[in-house]
Amino acid sequence: MKITFPHMGNVYLAVKALFDGLGIEYVIPPKNSKKTLEIGSLHSPEEICLPYKIMIGNYVQAAEMGADTVLLTGSCGPCRFGEYCEMQMNLLNKLGHDFKFIVIDAPGDIGVSELFNRIAEISTKSRMSKHKKLQCVKYALDVINLTDKLDAKAHWLAGYERKREECKKLLHASKRDAARCSNPKEMIKLLKDYEKKFDNVELDLDKDPVKIAIIGEIYTVIEPFSNLYIEDKLMSYGVSTRRELTPSWWVKNMVMSPTRLNSLDLKRHSKEYLRLEIGGHARECIGEAVKAYEDGLDGAIQIFPMGCMPEIVSKAILPRISKDKNFPIMTLVVDEMTGEAGYVTRIEAFLDLLERRKEHVLSGS
């Protein structure tokens, strides 16, 4: 059995740590690229959302590298994501890939014992003791948390760095090196070392950079390829960015959600504009926009894939928030046709606007 899984931001590092630890064979699909998307679009229904297409590309590319088992997460949330797995299974079968599927669902839906059965299916391949296996899960969680932390640091400090693109380079180096580690402990140590390196980045704290919150559909904001590397771009511009939706947030949210104590902060902030859960992460999106304003950021950028149902609802609400609070929010909708040039133009225009507003405030007019 050779397991593969779809890409989503840094998740591959955590999964690598997990399987390295357990001693299970796996295939990391090639990094997302135009090619991945081309393959995905070729085989997927035209109107399906972008994340689906990219994932199909991942599976097909992984199959070419010998993967025979796919790990899918299908949570039964009121969005398409939950319906993905059935369709993806059908599709891959039709393509003639003899995949085995392991679907990790929310326990509320398939029952706790079924969930354990499915997880056991993976871990029985490993001869370790139960205790050791749990230890590996813990390592994987550590990796998720650390990589998210590094992301957050780099994205925020980029606005203050003295040497241009230092944060960006450091961040990329950390991932490159982490991918080369062969056991989880080594990876964790390396990531921790990088964390320290960020403390040594020379900063100019007198700077007042433009600060932006990145909000929107969870896959699209987390997976850099699908948002045309917006965070990298903004780091190069010397803009500080913040993003609440991360893999570690997702894990926490999922674990906590049966207790309804999940992401209280964002729920509170979204209350004024969207009281109820409507599916996907629309409510988080609204909450983040309000929170970004309250935290004194300069603006927000909402990103979602074309046709994304919950985010269309958010998009309908955001202009009101923007108007009420005098807080600029721009929406970027991405699909496989999104061209780099037009995209960059819009981002630059938005940054211009934010900078001008800042000067205005400073000059007191």
Which residues of this protein are in contact with ligand SF4, per CB under 6 A?
49, 51, 79-81, 217, 280, 305, 308-311
> Is residue 102 a contact point for another protein (CB under 8 A)?
no
> Is residue 310 a contact point for another protein (CB under 8 A)?
yes
- Nearest alpha-carbon partner for 278 in 76, 78, 48: 78
> Is residue 45 a contact point for another protein (CB under 8 A)?
yes
Candidate ranges 199-207, 213-221, 246-254, 303-311; the one touching another protein (CB under 8 A): 303-311
Residue 273 interacting partner from ligand SF4, another protein, none (CB closer than 5 to 8 Å by kind): another protein
**Tokens 């964002």 map to which residue?**
266
The C-alpha atoms of residue 169 and residue 355 are separated, in whole angstroms, by 25
Shortest distance (Å) from residue 67 CB to ligand SF4: 23
> Is residue 269 a contact point for another protein (CB under 8 A)?
no
Q: How many of the other CB atoms lie within 10 Å of CB of 116?
A: 12
* From 28, 39, 49, 289, residue interacting with another protein (rule: CB under 8 A): 49
Sheet (strand 240-242) strand order:
240-242, 211-216, 299-305, 329-334
Token digits for 302? Answer: 């909402």
The C-alpha atoms of residue 307 and residue 305 are separated, in whole angstroms, by 6
180-209 binders of another protein (CB under 8 A): none
> Is residue 47 a contact point for another protein (CB under 8 A)?
yes
Residue 354 CB-half CA count within 13 A: 25
Shortest distance (Å) from residue 282 CB to ligand SF4: 8
> Is residue 345 a contact point for another protein (CB under 8 A)?
no
**Tokens 């039709």 map to which residue?**
94
Q: In angstroms, what CA-CA distances link 209 with 33, 158, 277, 354?
A: 31, 9, 34, 10
Residue 258 interacting partner from ligand SF4, another protein, none (CB closer than 5 to 8 Å by kind): none
Shortest distance (Å) from residue 327 CB to another protein: 15
Shortest distance (Å) from residue 134 CB to ligand SF4: 31
Residue 31 DSSP class: P
> 66 or 78: whose CB is closer to another protein?
78
Alpha helices (runs of H) in the chain, residue ranges in sequence order = 11-22, 34-43, 50-64, 81-94, 107-110, 112-123, 130-157, 166-180, 184-199, 218-222, 230-236, 247-256, 264-270, 282-294, 309-325, 340-362
Residue 312 interacting partner from ligand SF4, another protein, none (CB closer than 5 to 8 Å by kind): another protein
> 128 or 278: whose CB is closer to another protein?
278
Shortest distance (Å) from residue 334 CB to another protein: 12
Residue 358 CB-half CA count within 13 A: 16
Binding site for another protein (CB under 8 A): 45-49, 74, 76, 78-80, 82-83, 85-87, 89-90, 103, 273-274, 276-280, 282, 306-310, 312-313, 315-317, 319-320, 333
